[in-house]
Chain A
Amino acid sequence: MTKVTEKKEDVIILFAGDSGDGMQLTGSLFTNTSALYGNDISTFPDFPAEIRAPLGTVAGVSGFKLHFASVDIFTPGDDVEVLVAMNAAALKANLHQLKIGGTIIANTAGFDKKNLRLAKYDNEQSPLLDKSLDKFRVIELDVSKMTREALVDSGLGTKEVDRCKNMYVLGFLFWMYNRTLENTETFIKEKFAKKPDIRDANIKVLKSGYFFGDTNETFTTRFEVESAHLPKGEYRSIMGNQATAIGLIVAAKKANLDLFYGSYPITPASDILHELARHKNYGVKTFQAEDEIAAVCASIGASYGGAIGVTASSGPGIALKGEAIGLAVMLEIPLVIINVQRGGPSTGLPTKTEQSDLMQAINGRNGEAPLVVIAPHSPSDCFHTIIEATRISIEHMVPVMYLSDGFIANGSEPWKFPAAEDIKEIKPNFADAEKSLEDGAFYPYARDERLVREWATPGMKDLQHRVGGLEKDFKSGNVSYDPANHERMVKVRQEKVDRIADFIPEQKIEQGEDQGDILVIGWGSTYGASRTAVRELINEGHKVSQAHIKYLNPFPKNLFDVMKNFDKVLIPEINNGQLINLINAKYDLRAIPFNKIKGLPFTSREIKEKLLELLS
């Protein structure tokens, strides 16, 4: 029987199953193969908060969303085209994301009475048997049974056999999307090099899934997503936390400083610690501290000693670090603070994304304690943005807060990576006795025209001095309770941060004209959804543009000039309205808020619909 191949521009597959079903791995393997086919890619995992939530329940469903395309894409996408549901709970948790007419690949073994009961389907009624899925195309595969049959002679136990079942689904999907198995086979061979029976079993099941699609007469159509017209060059796939980690190593080397990373484990920031700990051969010092406060204080100690101290956490941990960050403001030494934001307040939604710590970053300390705040907008952008954060911190002797979030941190995309030599050097403002002494005395708080003081580290002869959290004399740095001096110092610390605006790029328009009906302006991880929505509207002839703010404090000098040429300014945020407060307070402008606070990123459609409503 002839099988036809249909071309598609982009496809979104959501792999969903129990957290033990291997869905993250299955998704990653499909991603890697798609990358080799030259597709543009964006992925996003969706984990349950519990490591092993009860089997078969909706709470225990782990998902991996993959968007791959022959055009350039910026988000993991809105409408799922294929939902892989390893059990009833996986279907129940994710059906709302599947577009009308989309395909469900259901593992029928996961829809037995027990699974239906655990997933809380009324009367244990299977959705595969009633008419509730009529709007979709359902492919029923008894994955468990077919995996067992494929491995009947393997000599493996039931448990080991069942662990291979994700490979069956993967094999079937490779057939469906016209991919070869080669890349995945190589992966399996490397991963299980020391366990030949497991290796052979996985490959056999992978092939069985593929052949099932190929030979079964029910499936007549395959799909093809051609390679995207990405700029020429060499690519790798990168996740946000990984990009942040390697960016830190690069930044430290570019500054010729040791990297000291003090951190306490917290979701979703811990992967940065894991990644850095793997790279000790780059001289990285990772320090898993006893708590969040120790982590930041140890990093301040390292910076005082002349290393670049970096600490990372998520919102609750940043709250604990607040006092010490204030100390770093007072000491005027380099310190990079990473906040991989999650849903708050309090413990909030640990595994879900949110942008709700912007106000905390700007204001979350006692006293007048300005910080530089900077935010990456995509997984690969983390690399450049953390280098920029480190550069500002070192060159301006100021703590910098870097605001990533769960969506960027765990998302991945192809990255046309740079060569190390193309990344600019970072120049620490070190003191030395020859140039820094004034009539034989050292004034640690003397400043240059940028208001930056010199960095005198222990070991430098004749520059011994004392610093601390008490107010400093403007020049000598000695403790001072003088009223006029305090006012002067508060203003100097503020002015020093404000002047950094002279050393950052001007705000640019990301796409669209520099004037028009609406400007969509956001920060952080809303970038991709805004980008897609605005692109579609521009193509449809609307006067809509997009700008995206990386530098949140200080703002680029021309920010108002960019915004004022539009009739309306829309600010989408995954919070209850934080950037908009800063902008409306600072500029003569009434920007329009657009907020989503569900622990989930915006879809591009949501932004597009909001824009259409404002345009009408």
Chain B
Amino acid sequence: MTKTNDIQVNLTAKDLATDQDVRWCPGCGDYSILKQLQSTLAEANISKEDTVFVSGIGCSSRFPYYMDTYGIHSIHGRATALASGLKASRPDLSVWIITGDGDSLSIGGNHLIHLLRRNFDVNILMFNNEIYGLTKGQYSPTSPKGQTTKSSPMGSLDHPFNPAALVLGASATFVARSMDRDPKHMREILKAADSHKGTSFIEIYQNCNVFNDGAFEVFTDKGTKADNVILLEEGQPLIFGADSDKGIRFEGMKPVIVSLSDVSKDDLWIHDSKDETKAYFLSKMFDEPGSEGAMPRPFGVFYQEDRFRYEEAMNEQIDRAISLKGKGDLDKLIRGSSTWKV
């Protein structure tokens, strides 16, 4: 009963909006992400009916209501599990998972890592605001240690997750980071995720202006951004700084910051998103901004790899079973291997 429809032509971002009022707080970073995704998918000329948005619970998880595609707003932490079954049964669909730091890394942590190792061809957009917004401001698994929140008046005791390192550890085949305040960058990353075959994981730094305002300001503010952000470009050296005067190179097994007045560009670390070891080092560039010897925070595609997709392997097994045993015959199944007559 699967119908594959023709690709719609000349979609605009507006065609992807629904008649529902968007209910995020004014000034929320989610608006920007919604807008960038609508533009990116319109540009990609997706087929609306072959696209499904799946979300869990949290502010970000309202997302499907605002996309004129198919959508399920499921239960807390389980979007990844639900999407696995959907993609397994319908490999033809384009599936987007919208989740947050609490939804995917706390209550749904288990399903996230298993989805990644299975490598279903789906996209995960993890809106990281380092706070629980929908429940009105408790610390999340990505909140920095010591953060004062409603549930941690004396500071949070939890050591935070490093999402990029976590997903690489779970064998993710596409790992990227972007931010709500850089629309152009986000559209590029969304486009790259869409074209990746396998699970794409994008961490998006998203400002919660009500409960955790300014959490990522150091990476987005014009005055501090240049010294704290490194934008990854394929095949290009790792350069940052207000005057593009700093770079990163490997000294032995250790990435260090060097001044371009001392070191030639040719000796810098060249970004290669196919290199798993380099990706690991990028993920570990997770220092607290401004701390002693802090490395800049990387944004862009850390890693991508082509590995078999679960849903394809599942169908291949079925095809193989059919070629070995023949297409299933119900009467044979019901009879079994041994019968007798009375």
A residues at B contact (CB < 8 Å): 32, 35-36, 38, 227, 230-238, 246, 249-250, 253, 256-258, 260, 262, 279-285, 287, 289-291, 293-294, 297-302, 304-307, 309, 323-324, 327, 331, 383, 416-420, 430, 457-470, 478-479
Contacts and interface: CB of A to CB of B under 8 A. Distances in A.
14 contacts: A233-B342, A281-B327, A290-B110, A297-B81, A297-B85, A301-B81, A301-B87, A416-B342, A417-B334, A430-B1, A459-B2, A463-B49, A466-B70, A478-B20
Interface residues of B, number: 65
Contact of B335 (A236, A282, A299): A236
Nearest to B50: A459
B334 A301 contact: no
A331 to B, nearest CB: 8
5 closest residue pairs by CB, A with B: A468-B73, A298-B85, A282-B328, A301-B85, A301-B86
Given A235-B342, A461-B49, 9 more contacts: A36-B340, A282-B333, A285-B89, A297-B75, A302-B88, A461-B5, A466-B64, A466-B70, A468-B74
Interface in B107-160: 110-111, 114
Nearest to A305: B90
A262 B85 contact: yes
Contacts of B317: 280
B130 to A, nearest CB: 25
Contacts of A233: 341-342
Contacts of A231: 342
B72 A466 contact: yes
Contacts of B3: 459-461
A327 B325 contact: no
A291 B341 CA distance: 43
B11 to A, nearest CB: 13
Nearest to B6: A461
B336 A464 contact: no
B111 A290 contact: yes
Contact of A469 (B69, B71, B75): B75
B328 A249 contact: yes
B330 interface: yes
A331 B53 CA distance: 15
A485 to B, nearest CB: 16
B86 A302 contact: yes
B18 interface: yes
A420 B70 contact: no
A467 B85 contact: no
Nearest to B327: A281
A485 B228 CA distance: 51
Contacts of A279: 321, 328, 333
Contacts of B342: 38, 227, 230-235, 416
Nearest to A294: B81
B322 interface: yes
Given A461-B3, A468-B74, A305 B89 contact: yes
Contact of A301 (B84, B318, B322): B84
Contacts of B321: 279-281
Interface in B42-97: 48-55, 57, 64-65, 67-75, 78, 81-90, 92-93
